[in-house]
Structure 1
């Protein structure tokens, strides 16, 4: 079984890239194809020794730093990969990877992190946040996204089996592509986080400081609760905004190394998570420490945080809704102890992902071979 692994781009080592590395671990002889590859960012990972083929976009000016500006060219780029020599094609896609061309005797499995959000239901938010809500640039962007949606739906027909990273994304795949998807939750490095039953009094918010993570809402909520301590860890475009919002009960630490972040996660009274994520890895990491999570009740958090047991949900992305959830948590607590919260997190482990993903690929490959009379 000759395997090809297709990725949108390999620029930074984050959530989707860790899933792709796990797939590469299951099929270590697989060849990797991607639009742009930042070799420096993947030193020490399985990608360092893999055979990686980049698209023509990698040769364009500033592609490594400004790769997203070349999104209109990426559908053409992934279609140029010649995959005719491979039996199984696994695309890990949140943008264009699923659009590779395959034949009827090849098995194409797409692990879909999400249908590309800024082309579909997040288009208006994306255009407004990028300053392209109006004017000639805005209309050009709208037209390009319109063309992209047509291509995106068409290429869904080239996928034999979809895997969603959550039931939430499964519903988005059904709505956008009209296809059913099996759910295999991403691999979370649960074993990198050890259980600490004794908690301190502070709450923790940690993430990249970008608008959709909504750290500003968490900070505003705690600015209205002067008797509650909040620690904020992260860096990004909104750092100056967050600093201007600080009150004496809020400590901003900026970027911290993994060991420091893990220590705060282990000791925090609760982890506060205000983003609408497709899956959301950090709430699982916090629960692996035995730390409850107060999370926005949308997206993957509905599947990973058990309301009243491993944490609490809040219904609206507003400071008041967060404040109410914190007060609810303070009054009622959660029914699970730290060790039970940890046990829940272990259901999202690397070992579980490896087992489910390998079985899925091999079973579908065997079924295709039987159809072909092999």
Structure 2
């Protein structure tokens, strides 16, 4: 295969709004001439900034049902991933299971959020789902694991988003990786747009921003606030959405599909962010710190890399309502230094992230960053 473009970016699918998609947009800002290869792209459900990106999707993208619900496409994603060929001297593959499997014409730098959760943490990923999706996944898993491990070995370089993912990459693939924290892209000085709820305070509330998936444990956060006389705003969508809405007590409000300006408004007026999720990185505490806000998070995974206990946040040890409630009370009794929080957030800048990637691109494929190449 002959490489015809200097640099490309790859991502699993561009069908939702989450931390991984924010990283891809940061990659695009760092390398604006690089096209983005993916299996699926749905403009209506992804960040609007993707409309300015040169996106090249697989054949699977022709089927609207899969663009609207990528989880239904699971049995077909290995075929779609194998069909993607990237004719670039260097490819940065933003991957949580698929983009690292794309065929490339040159060097492949994998930025890994985690080896595929549905393969190696199936019970955590699916939660209480006992339907057809679980049956199909269990049937496909042996073949998909072989495919996944084979494709991982095609990488030139592996970066891990956190130390817990670094360990997971080592255990799963036998590959040594370097930890490169994800950047935040929040501008605290950008315009804000109010998010107002009936009979609800417009400041001093706690904030939980998350995809509503079983392993995110948003239900435990909601339960914790059932016993707290404090307001909570949950922002997100996903399979757990209906159940969470039905169980939410009067002091909890739910929202989804918010603009960046509305998210900034919520961060700026919150008391703190709360997360009980098993996060491989956990971007929301960094985004909150940009506004001088602290965090209350599970002592696990990526949060261990991004939270300084007592300075930028409070930990709880288990994702249970009682433990979360105790941590919220402890947080309320602590004085927080907003200037220290803002300085902490600066260490996770897009500039630091892009600088390290440019160094690696220059090492593995010097010609891809020569004059006239994507920058």
- TM normalised by structure 2 equals 0.84
1:34 partnered with 2:38: yes
1:117 partnered with 2:117: yes
Q: Is the 8 A contact 1:193 1:262 kept in 2?
A: no
The structure with higher relative contact order (CA 8 Å, sep 6+) is: 2
- Measure how far apart 1:160 and its partner are: 1.0
Looking at structure 1, the residues matched to 274 and 69 of structure 2 have their Cα atoms a distance apart, in angstroms, of: 32
- Counterpart of 1:343 in structure 2 is 343
Looking at structure 2, the residues matched to 80 and 54 of structure 1 have their Cα atoms a distance apart, in angstroms, of: 10
Root-mean-square deviation (CA, aligned residues, Å) is: 2.8
Cα distance change, pair 55–282 in 1 and its aligned pair in 2 (3 A): same
Unaligned runs of 5+ in 2: 191-201, 370-375
Q: Is the 8 A contact 1:190 1:350 kept in 2?
A: no
- Counterpart of 1:24 in structure 2 is 28
Residues 103-152 of structure 1 show CA distances to partners (whole Å, capped at 9, x for unaligned) of 6xx211111111110110x21234453323xxx87444312012111111
Structure 1 segment 1-374 matched on structure 2, within 5 A: 2-40=6-44, 45=49, 48-50=52-54, 52-60=55-63, 62-83=65-86, 85-102=87-104, 106-120=106-120, 122-132=121-131, 138-192=134-188, 201-226=204-229, 228-248=230-250, 250-255=251-256, 256-331=258-333, 333=334, 337-366=337-366
Q: SS state of the match for residue 64, structure 1? A: helix
- Counterpart of 2:198 in structure 1 is none
Q: Is the 8 A contact 1:91 1:98 kept in 2?
A: yes
Q: Is the 8 A contact 2:90 2:368 kept in 1?
A: no
Residues 302-360 of structure 1 show CA distances to partners (whole Å, capped at 9, x for unaligned) of 111111111110000101111221232234x15x5111011101111222222222222
Unaligned runs of 5+ in 1: 370-374
Looking at structure 2, the residues matched to 200 and 53 of structure 1 have their Cα atoms a distance apart, in angstroms, of: 42
Q: Is the 8 A contact 1:277 1:301 kept in 2?
A: yes
Cα distance change, pair 264–102 in 1 and its aligned pair in 2 (3 A): closer
Cα distance change, pair 318–353 in 1 and its aligned pair in 2 (3 A): same
Larger gyration radius, structure 1 or structure 2: 1
Q: Is the 8 A contact 1:294 1:326 kept in 2?
A: yes
- Measure how far apart 1:266 and its partner are: 1.9
Q: Is the 8 A contact 1:190 1:345 kept in 2?
A: no
Cα distance change, pair 53–246 in 1 and its aligned pair in 2 (3 A): closer
Cα distance change, pair 99–137 in 1 and its aligned pair in 2 (3 A): closer
Cα distance change, pair 178–367 in 1 and its aligned pair in 2 (3 A): farther
Task: Please say which of residues 111-120 and 215-224 is displaced more in the overlay.
Answer: 215-224
